[in-house]
Amino acid sequence: MLFLGLTGSIATGKSTVSSLLRQAPYSLPIIDADLIARQVVEPGTPGYKAIIKHFLPTTPDLLLPDATVRGRPLNRPALGRRVFGQGEEKEKDRKVLNGIVHPAVRKEMYKQMVWAYLKGNWAVVLDVPLLFESGWERYCGTILVVGVSDPAIQMKRLRERDAHLTEEDARNRVLSQGDVREKAERCLRRGPGRGVVVWNDHDKEHLKREMDKVMSEVRRGSPRWWGFLLWVFPPLAALSGLVSWWKMKGVQLQWEEEKKREKAKL
């Protein structure tokens, strides 16, 4: 089974692409890291309790006033203002939040990946906004990056989607997820069929046509007969996954080493 990593940056259209992949003619199961991240911090969960313990004493508006049976939900805009942006304190708080949420998300994703394999799917989409940053890239046989050519497009779409955000809030959120053009470059370094990019600068119909092109390329690299063979022979699936993981780890480490050398020259 192919692990198809889907990533991009905020307001580039990744959610739209995820929706397209869920529908015919692709009909792929989606493991949505953002959705899981919301579920693991719902009132009553261990993640929720850990966030309350760390952030509530210094964030008075952390909780919404309307309580559920399990407790008051998190005020996500307030938490976002606490962790997004530049500065040492925000970076520290962001690391704390990630340290609470990410392990719980990974555990649930592993469960859903196994279930998708057992159901005989030829591929499963790992919808992870910070796929490169979190190290998930080495698990993916193919990565699809959804990008835009101009950060101004992201800013405009983000403020249209989330009207409560100020221009500064929107800018901080865009900056917090890194430059999507660099992600696209990193993706293409994996080689044909292993890394594909969809540029979403236009309308949805244009995006659909671009998706048809890139998914044809992905399909050529992972035909149905190969997916069926991996499903019938689990040891072969394990071996294939291990080989892919090792190769993609090499690509990841090479990219990171190049970036270190570039920074050292500055």
Q: Give residues with Cβ within 8 angstroms of 204, minimum separation 6.
A: 16
Q: Distance between CA atoms of 63 and 52, rounded to whole angstroms?
A: 9
Distance CA 182, CA 101 (A): 25
List the chain domain ranges. Answer: 1-29+123-266, 37-118
CATH number of 1-29+123-266: 3.40.50.300
Q: What is the largest CA-CA distance in the chain?
A: 56
208-230: b (≥16 Cβ within 10 Å) or e: eebbeebbeebeeebeeeebeeb
Reading the chain (266 residues) residue by residue, the pLDDT tens digits are 899 999 998 889 999 999 999 999 999 999 999 899 999 999 989 999 999 998 988 888 888 887 777 888 898 888 888 888 788 888 888 889 989 998 999 999 999 999 999 998 999 999 998 899 888 999 999 999 999 988 888 888 888 888 888 888 888 888 777 788 899 999 999 988 899 999 999 889 999 999 999 999 899 888 888 888 988 999 999 999 999 999 999 999 999 999 888 888 76
The Cβ of residue 131 has, within 10 Å, a number of other Cβ atoms equal to 23
Peptide bond into 73 cis (omega under 30): no
Phi and psi at 104, nearest 5°, equal -65, -35
Q: What DSSP state is assigned to residue 38?
A: H
Query: Which pLDDT score is estimated for 266?
Result: 67
Edge-first strand listing for the sheet containing 30-32? 30-32, 123-127, 2-7, 142-147, 195-199
